[in-house]
Structure 1
Amino acid sequence: MKKKNWFTFAAVAIALTTTLAGCGSGNSPSNESTPPSSASPSASDTAAASPSEGASPAGKTFENPELDVAVFQGGYGREFWDSAAEAFMQDYPGTKINITASPKIGELIRPKIVAGNPPDFMYISGSDNTPLVNGLIKDKALLDLTEVFEELTPEGAPLKDKILDGVLNSRATSPYDDGKVYLAPYNFGVMGLWYNKALFEAKGITPPKTWDDFFAANAAAKENGRALLTYQGIYPGYLEEMIVPAIYAAGGQEALKQFFDYDPEFWKSDTFKQVWGLMEKIATEDNALMTGTVALNHTQSQTAFLQGKAMFIPNGSWFEDEMKDAPREDGFSFGYLGVPSFGADKPVSALTNVETVVIPAKAKNPELAKEFLKYLYTDKIVQLNGDKAKAVMAVKGAPDLVKAYITETTYNVYKAADDGMIAVNGAFKPVAKGSKFNPSDEVYKPFSSIMSKQMTLDQYAEKLYKVYSEIQKELEAAGAQ
């Protein structure tokens, strides 16, 4: 199931010159570690193959050579972190890295954080754990990492130039909108609409590039005995994968800012009417929404799609792996579309997300933690992450570095952006501490009523106008305290 507390990032939408992917650690129901590949190089083999990459600077020593690292053990497993620690210790002789990994890592380390003795470095993910990081953000208890990304790499360019464009000035990494980085990017994901590539090729169906093309494809859907669309009905948050890119396509960055920063006037805007009008059309047009969709969970709707009951479904880069054992129609092949545009002269887009790692402000060994962070972005470790975690970091060129370790489908999803796809990013502004509102739930949960035609768009807009107004009041009150 898709993890609903992953960090998406707010930034001007950008055309990806290099696309990146990974099966989100919390996106898959499985918390088992990825088994190592017998044909894959070990950390020591990789280090030996490229001794200069990531090597310890001559004479560099640390007053405290021991580092405590806490990581979420989910779909990515823990093998990557163990291997990265081993490689670091080899390249930085005399250092020692202690890895603590658990699916319940937040629960495990919370007492240490409360006691003022947090781990030095943390990768916290999974819906049960991310509230811990959200709390650290609200309490401004994370170390400022801006200078790390200003430092020069061995190639002579700032480290920030190696990170995927748009990430470091996004809300996922710069949560206070002050241009400073507090959360460092880790693995990267891409979302959008999926289809059966084999069917489209066999029937000569062209993947839609505009919303007009999308609805026109309903005719082909009928001819092939399926509905136009299904989605993960009882988890309507998946629809953000269509909605957020459509908001940008209709109203640009200004509209995204209105939406994510709780401007009540968004719900009276032409952008709202245009984007939510798409959802209303899917709900009301004959054969557009697969019968029963609203009552299905993610596995049921995704299986129905694989079995040929719907032409399209929203999902992310974890889709193929999550459903690897699910039944499907003969010859099925994963095809990734992205999100259609509003005009033939406009590019297809995609919602993107990035997971992050952090260093607590009270870490006892911040200098070694920052050195370990920089080390993670070396080509050797990016490749090791692909090998052990089967994931792709938010680093330029990463897809090609890990191509040997990911599936052809996964690789193709992220390389699709090379054709000019627009990456659209967004995250809700943090609400006031103690707020009664969960913005994502307020926006997406009512979709069940919209799609089942029990709520009109006017009723929905009126409800959200009030919600946004109250959130703004809470923020203003909190700011005055």
Structure 2
Amino acid sequence: MSKKKWITLAMAAVFLTLPLAGCGSNNTSNNAAPSATAAAEASAEGSASASPGAAAETFGNPELNIAVFQGGYGRDYWDSVAAEFMKEYPGTKINITASPKIAELVRPKIVAGNPPDFMYISGSDNTPILDGLVKDKALLDLTDVFDSNTEAGTPLKLQILPGVLTSSSIAPYGDGKIYLAPYNFGVMGLWYNKNLFDSKGIATPKTWDELFADNAVAKENDRALFTYQGLYPGYLEEMIVPAIASAGGQEALDQFFNYDPEFWKSETYTKVWGLLEKIATEDNALMKGTVALNHTQSQTSFLQGKSMFIPNGTWFEDEMKDAPREDGFQFGFLGVPSLGADGKVMALTQVEQMVIPAKAKNPELAKAFLKYLYSEKSIKLNAEKAKGVMAVNGAPDLVKEYISETTYNIYKAVDSGMVAVSGSFKPVAKGSKFNASDEVYKPISSIMSKQLTLDEYSAKLYKVYTQIQKELQEQGQQ
């Protein structure tokens, strides 16, 4: 399953009332299939709503074309919410195109100046298209949608989790205007077999020293300490980013995500990547064969008791619901241990994004649809059909009946003091050959297989960051 991108914001307590959404869902069909749903009715207000039966008068063209990423969440939610929207807005028609490779389908239309009216883009192979739209200032200003009132009479923006709408991944130009809308929210970190820990009286580690000390416990229980999705080392960001925050705070996160070359000579770098080196070199720390495994293979090995810990997100349980596992296995979420003695456990958080292109043919209807997605009916449908949790206040309790107990408890762990950390790489210059995530994470495979030293790796990344900075400066983006 494709990894998701993170929102540039680091905060604890901000997400206290929110459930975690992940990549997992019961709907995993990979067929790209355009579909048209039929019409319906609703009340609303302002430019982002319409009176029942007045869709054609309000919007002119009552037809909406939307394009959505079809990954772990599937497409059932989009079909269902489109049907409900059309009931609320009689005379409207929504055409849905869904695909795991949605960027390939919509890119030619965007280039031709004929983009979909609304898009949900996710997955590491797809999200660069969002970076391009942001760089080109080709997204519609959505500020009025979030300023408009809900049925309860309060501004929609007050329904969204604190801090999300002001982040640079949602308001990218620093002018306070919103160009990307938040969708599902997820929490990532290390997972373990709760039944094993409970039955043997093993304490969950609060610091990295305690985690490495568990290697002895791992040996006693005939397993390695750690595995990860070897062919997709980007999963390691789920522990790397919180570790950077633990070691160097927001200043270090800013260096890392904004391409300060000096990050790769810093004490924070030495501490965080030292964890990877220790996993790679210490006896029994890394499960044999990990580097050659894909995500499903490594995750199945973990479930079968071949390692004590693995990084993943809140989609994990649903994604692997049919995979074989050791007797009595129970999903347990650890978060990410602290690098200091304070024992402040952290977790990487993620908010996915939805957009309306500036050249959308039907922007007002697209705004109405976007606003409808934050209705209670839609939030519940999203949890029921996609097992996702939207980035809105109170969502965890609102959708508790549709998500697993494990997932609900993870949100509550954040709610009760687990420090939430998030961030994403600043877009590189237009036309750059660099993909920041690939440059940082792909070479880690060579570190874990002991073919690349930390000094060689940091020297390479210092040059990469220097070149990215130069390109940004040349384009006046720095």
Q: Structures share a fold, TM > 0.5?
A: yes
Q: Which of 4, 8, 11 is the aligned partner of 1:10?
A: 8
Residue 440 of structure 1: CA displacement? 1.1
Q: Secondary structure at the match of 1:152?
A: coil
Alignment match of 2:58 (pick from 57, 62, 67): 62
**Aligned match for 2:206, one of 206, 209, 218:** 209
Is 2:429–2:477's contact at 8 Å kept on the other side of the alignment? no
Give the aligned partner of residue 235 of structure 2: 238
- Give the whole-Å Cα distance in 1 for the aligned partners of 2:331 and 2:99: 32
Correspondence 1:392 to 2:389 = yes
Tell me how far apart the structure 2 counterparts of residues 414 and 436 of structure 1 sit (CA, whole Å). Answer: 38
Mapped partners of 1:320, 1:13: distance in 2: 26
Q: Give how far 1:413 is off.
A: 2.2
Aligned counterparts of 1:205 and 1:337: Cα–Cα separation in 2: 13
Which stretches of structure 1, 4 residues or longer, exceed 4 Å deviation after superposition? 25-30, 54-61
* Cα shift at 1:392: 1.1
Q: Determine the structure 1 residue equivalent to 2:306.
A: 309
Alignment of 1:172-187 (within 5 A): 172-187=169-184
1:95 has 2:83 as partner: no
Deviation at 1:333, TM superposition (A): 0.7
**Cα gap change, 1:72 to 1:238, in 2 (>3 Å):** closer
State the alpha-carbon separation in 1 of the partners of residues 99 and 294 from structure 2.
26
- Partner AA of 2:9 in structure 1: A
Question: CA distance change for structure 1 residues 463 and 274 in 2, over 3 Å: closer, same or farther?
Answer: same
Q: CA deviation at 1:461?
A: 1.5
Q: 1:39 is matched with which residue?
A: none
| Aligned equivalent of 1:36 | none
Letter in 2 for 1:348: V
TM (norm. structure 2) is: 0.90
Moved more, 288-297 or 328-337: 288-297
In 2, are the aligned partners of 1:197 and 1:334 still within 8 Å (CA)?
yes
> In 2, distance between residues paired with 1:229 and 1:388?
33
State the shift of 1:436 in Å.
1.8
The equivalences for 1:370-449 within 5 A come to 370-449=367-446
2:121 matched to 1:124? yes
- Distance in 2, Cα, partners of 1:308 & 1:125: 31
SS for the counterpart of 1:396 is coil
Q: 1:298 aligns with which of 295, 298, 308?
A: 295
Equivalent of 1:71 in 68, 72, 77: 68
Deviation at 1:303, TM superposition (A): 1.6
Could you tell me whether the CA contact under 8 Å between 1:231 and 1:301 is conserved in 2? yes
Number of residue pairs matched?
466
Contact (CA 8 Å) 2:25, 2:318: kept in 1 or not?
no
Cα distance in 2 for partners of 1:456, 1:126 equals 30
Q: Which residue of 1 aligns with 2:247?
A: 250
Q: Classify the secondary structure of the residue corresponding to 2:10.
A: strand
Q: Distance in 2 between matches of 1:217 and 1:30?
A: 39
Give yes or no for contact 2:225–2:307 (8 Å, CA) kept in 1.
yes
Query: What's the CA shift string for 1:289-332, capped at 9, x where partnerless?
Result: 22222222222221221111111010111212222222211111
Q: 1:28 to 1:240 in 2, by over 3 A?
A: farther
Q: 1:272 aligns with which of 266, 269, 289?
A: 269
- Residue 111 of structure 1 and its aligned partner are, at CA, apart by 3.5
- Alignment partners' CA distance in 1, 2:310 and 2:26: 16
Residues 94 and 86 (structure 1 numbering): CA distance in 2 closer, same or farther, change over 3 Å?
Answer: same
Shift of the alpha carbon at 1:479?
1.8
| Unmatched segments (≥5 aa) in structure 2 | 33-37
Change beyond 3 A, Cα 1:26–1:474: farther
Name the CA shift for 1:113/1:308 in 2 (closer, same or farther; >3 Å).
same
- Is 1:342 the counterpart of 2:339 in the alignment? yes
- Aligned: 1:143 with 2:140: yes
Supply the AA of the counterpart residue of 2:19: L
Mapped to 1, the partners of 2:281 and 2:365 lie a distance apart of: 57
Q: Post-superposition shift, 1:9?
A: 0.7
Instruction: Answer whether contact 1:230 1:313 (CA < 8 A) is retained.
Output: yes
**How far 1:138 moved relative to its partner?**
2.2
Instruction: Give the Cα–Cα distance (whole angstroms) in 1 for the partners of residues 351 and 122 of structure 2.
Output: 11
Flag the 1:19–1:219 CA change in 2: closer, same or farther, 3 A: farther
Give the superposition deviation at 1:7: 2.5
Conserved? CA contact 1:32–1:77, under 8 Å: no
**1:319 matched to which residue of 2?**
316
Q: Which secondary structure does the structure 1 equivalent of 2:475 belong to?
A: helix
Match of 2:454? 457
1:40 corresponds to: none
Q: Check whether the contact 1:149–1:160 (CA below 8 A) recurs between aligned residues.
A: yes
Matched, 1:164 2:167: no
User: What amino acid sits opposite 2:135 in the alignment?
Assistant: K
Secondary structure of the corresponding residue to residue 68 of structure 1: strand
Give the aligned residue type for 2:324.
P
Does the 8 Å contact 1:26/1:127 carry over to 2?
no
Taking the aligned partners of 2:469 and 2:91, their CA distance within structure 1 comes to 52
